Amino acid sequence: MFEHCQRATKTRRLTNLPKRASNHQLLCVFLNGNVWLLLNTYMTYKQNITDLWLKDNGFNLRTFNTTNVQVLRAQQAAKILLTEYASKLDREQIDMLHAFQRAASNSKKIDKISRSQCYKVLNIHTKFNRQLFRKHRK
């Protein structure tokens, strides 16, 4: 019964229908075309939201899928430290965080970031989290 719907889905053209197409056949072609359009629009919308979230959290979109998890955690920590706690960091820490961000934003240098560099960033972030916890606990 639905062979014509499958054929219309594959080609998505009205020209493949018989000369005397039934209303059901025309409806299948119309719905299949619009479903693909709606799905494509929805997926594009979701992709744009995802890309914006990744950028806002300090991630590089081009290298996100292939980057080590430790580097991603350190990237996010560096972004938080530089945006929220920059006034409490000393000059050496700020320079180190900026250097890390420059290396993480370069697709050729991101593979050369060592675990020790990531741990330095994460240790600074942990230090500030401890200080905030102590301040709010009192």
Q: Is pLDDT above 90 for 93?
A: yes
Contact 79, 60 (CB under 8 A): no
The model's confidence at residue 53, banded by pLDDT at 50, 70 and 90, is confident
Q: Is pLDDT above 90 for 57?
A: no
- What residue segments make up the domains of the chain, in order of their start? 3-52, 66-137
pLDDT of 132? 87
For the segment 127-135, the average pLDDT, to the nearest whole number, is 89
Contact 121, 100 (CB under 8 A): yes
Cα(first)–Cα(last) distance of the chain, in Å? 73
pLDDT of 96? 94
pLDDT of 50? 84
- Tens digit of each residue's pLDDT (9 = 90 or more) over 59-89: 877 778 888 889 999 999 999 999 988 898 9
pLDDT of 12? 44
For the segment 96-112, the average pLDDT, to the nearest whole number, is 89
